[in-house]
Amino acid sequence: MPTRTAAHRRAEASAAYDAYLAECPARQLLDRIADKWVSLAVTALADGPRRYSDLQRTLASISQKMLTQTLRHLERDGLVTRTVTPAVPVRVTYELTPLGRSLLPVMAAIKGWAEAHMDEVRAARDTYDDAED
Amino acid sequence: MPTRTAAHRRAEASAAYDAYLAECPARQLLDRIADKWVSLAVTALADGPRRYSDLQRTLASISQKMLTQTLRHLERDGLVTRTVTPAVPVRVTYELTPLGRSLLPVMAAIKGWAEAHMDEVRAARDTYDDAED
DNA sequence: CCGCATCCTTTCGGATACTG
DNA sequence: CAGTATCCGAAAGGATGCGG
């Protein structure tokens, strides 16, 4: 009989990665996904595949450099797929993978929180700034 | 009778802020909270008030500059309270406000996602990098 | 249309030294 | 202990021009 029970193994598995630790890969991954453009790009793909130019219109004022960079990272990390349709002109569409879909609720939540609590944050800032001594 | 029904007003209210728009304040707020240190700091305060030095130990390798800056922003935005206990030496504790508590599940989710899906992302990266042509 | 390469400015963020 | 202030290198990110 093993000295490590199923509960032990579960606890160990859930602690396999710890973003609090600097050297942990999860810390870097957190840094990647905790990003404004990632949040907007992933949520923009919620309803299905979309074209590059379509995404660029939706994520207002994003530069093509940042959009391409963000999409490349998401593609490399297995969160989106990139599909090129050879036509004239070429047509490129991006779509969430199942892994990307698992991140979608989280990204939608953070974007939603910002939109939902903007007024409260504004009020807090006014109070804070008025209290300058 | 007004031409705008309650449903109209609700729809309008929920669309009052839109992070997709560059000029929208919610875009800036999203940029503030979609941050590695914010995620780690907020989740670290989940179980109650903690001291500055305690947080610094938990958020391994964070510089005092970034920790102070992050906490100041959170305080200004009304997400945490800062309490100074005059003693020798001085004791400063940080605690989530109700507004901060409303953000906690979101921040815990993003941190948790990174830790939970690290292996899948790693596998995707290996595949992507191997396919270099 | 969908990029990549380059330049250049701005910001981020670590290191260090110093205060109540 | 819990900061603030300053310096400085590294990285982010916009602008522009070119290419398949």
For residue A46, give the CATH number of its domain: 1.10.10.10
Query: What pLDDT is attached to residue A3?
Result: 55
In a domain, B15, yes or no: no
Q: Which H or E element spans position A19?
A: none
Q: Which residue has the higher pLDDT, A20 or B4?
A: A20
Closest nucleotide to A61, Cα to C1': D14
Evaluate the omega torsion of the peptide bond into residue B49 and state whether it is cis, within 30 degrees of 0: no
pLDDT > 90? residue A14: no
In a domain, B108, yes or no: yes
Closest nucleotide to A94, Cα to C1': C2
Per-residue pLDDT tens over the stretch B65-98: 999 999 999 999 999 999 999 988 899 999 999 9
pLDDT > 60? residue B10: no
- A86 CA to C2 C1' distance (Å): 12
Per-residue pLDDT tens over the stretch B15-57: 699 999 999 999 999 999 999 999 999 999 999 999 999 999 9
- A92 CA to D20 C1' distance (Å): 14
Looking at every residue in chain B, the average pLDDT score rounds to 91
pLDDT > 70? residue B63: yes
In a domain, A20, yes or no: no
In a domain, B3, yes or no: no
In a domain, B45, yes or no: yes
Closest nucleotide to B63, Cα to C1': C14
In a domain, B20, yes or no: no
Considering only CA atoms, which residue is closest to the C1' of nucleotide C20? Answer: B90
The residues, any chain, with a CB within 8 Å of residue B37's CB and separated by 6 or more, are B59, B62, B66, B67, B70
In a domain, B93, yes or no: yes
**B78, A127: Cβ pair inside 8 Å?**
yes
**Cα B71 from Cα A17, distance rounded (Å):** 25
In a domain, B123, yes or no: yes
Q: Give the residue numbers spanning the domain of B47.
A: 35-130
Per-residue pLDDT tens over the stretch A61-100: 999 999 999 999 999 999 999 999 998 889 999 999 999 9
Query: What pLDDT is attached to residue B18?
Result: 96
Taking the model in full, what pTM does it have?
Answer: 0.90
Query: What pLDDT is attached to residue A88?
Result: 85
**Cα A48 from Cα A84, distance rounded (Å):** 16
pLDDT > 60? residue A12: no
**Cα A46 from Cα A48, distance rounded (Å):** 6
B14: nearest CA partner in chain A? A116
**A121, B34: Cβ pair inside 8 Å?**
no
Domains held by chain A: number = 1
Q: Which residues neighbour strand C (beta carbon < 7 Å)?
A: A 51-53, 56, 64-65, 68, 71-72, 82, 89-92; B 62-66, 89-90
